[in-house]
Chains A and B, each alone.
Chain A
Amino acid sequence: MRRLPRSAWHAATVASVRPETSQSARIELDVDGWPGNAAGQHLDVRLTAPDGYTATRSYSIASSGPSSRVVLAVDRVPGGEVSPFLVDELRAGDQVEVNGPLGRFFIWEAPGADVSDAPNAPDAPDVSDAANASDAPDARDASRPVQLVGGGSGIVPLYAMAHAHAEAGDDTEFRLLYSVRTPEDTFFRAELAQLAVNGPGRAGGIRIDLIYTRAAPTGHERPPMRLTRDEVARLVVPAERAPRVFVCGSTGFAELVASWLLDLGHDARSIRIERFGGT
């Protein structure tokens, strides 16, 4: 596995804030000293009130690579302590503190990509059952299809992976299954449409299946309803093709999807999950 940059606290300046959906904002940060990040990593944002009270929350990063410009997409959690401030009050030029890049588990890296300028360290061979349990990425993963499954704002780290895959012109088979309430609630709507232009058969291409749970676009054949087990069976890369599966969404969504994937014969070690609670 390639060496990833170490995390640290950094001062960040808000470069821009704009609505992503009616309930969320896309926030671009210029992070002083940011060492770059892999697709799928997250960061912690710390806000400090004038009286010294602090609140810290984790947010997935929608961007990847060496740039110190970091993109977030933050959902407004009603009654939340931090997200309404970030979505509604934050302005360009504001300062926040961020700790990152964080997490080595929920990441995807294009074969040959390197986000840091650190030398590459070869993987140690697995020496125990415990090491096997880690399912650490290795060279054998490069040829396996990748299936992304996202619910709502859980798309954010998956979008980073899909974008990194497209940027690299990577020829790994990629699919995204994205469950969202309505067309207007779709994060990265234009960008996903653009990514899907390169179909699954081409380098950097991806197949995107959108599931609308409350309201579907005009002319959409599927009536709006929750994602079903049958749809997961039909739309996800089949277990016999041994896909690496990344699932991100609310705890309920992520655990339901994971239980179906296990039922359908996917290996638990091939499923990586990131759950969010929501504050």
Chain B
Amino acid sequence: MTEHHRTAHPAPHVDGNALAGPLAELFAFDVTDAVARCGSCGTADVVARAMVYRSAVGTVVRCPACDDVLATLVESDDRIWFSMRGMSAIEVRRR
């Protein structure tokens, strides 16, 4: 989502709140207030507190505690690739 002329000045990271829209197309619940456990350091926290790095290529979601990759998201016009390889578990509240 970042503009091409911005490559010399990369946009700062944002946070997991920004995932609410893109992931609403994939999940029946709001992922941003689900709790994810980092497969690397074991920290469990709500996805909204993760660090999110967006570029023209895609989105990388990193653990707020150890900075390891929790998930990646790549979107095109007709499909979405979503990897959660850095999460060992995710806890979703029933409503």
Contact = CB atoms under 8 A, between A and B. Distances in A.
A252 B17 contact: no
Among B6, B32, B33, residue most surrounded by chain A Cβ atoms (within 10 Å): B33
Interface string A153-196: 00000000000000000000000000000000000000000000
Contacts of B77: 54
Interface stretch (A24-32, A103-111, A201-209): A103-111
Contact of B33 (A105, A128, A252): A105
A68 B21 CA distance: 19
Contacts of A219: none
Contacts of A4: 30
Interface size class of A (residues with CB under 8 A): 35 or more
A80 B21 CA distance: 20
B67 interface: no
Main secondary structure of the interface of B (DSSP, over half): mixed
Interface size class of B (residues with CB under 8 A): 20 to 34
A129 B44 contact: yes
B6 A279 contact: yes
B19 to A, nearest CB: 9
* Cβ-closest 6 pairs across A and B: A105-B48, A44-B21, A102-B20, A130-B44, A251-B12, A277-B11
Interface of B: 1-3, 5-6, 11-18, 20-21, 24, 30, 32-35, 37, 44-46, 48-49, 54, 77, 89, 91, 93-95
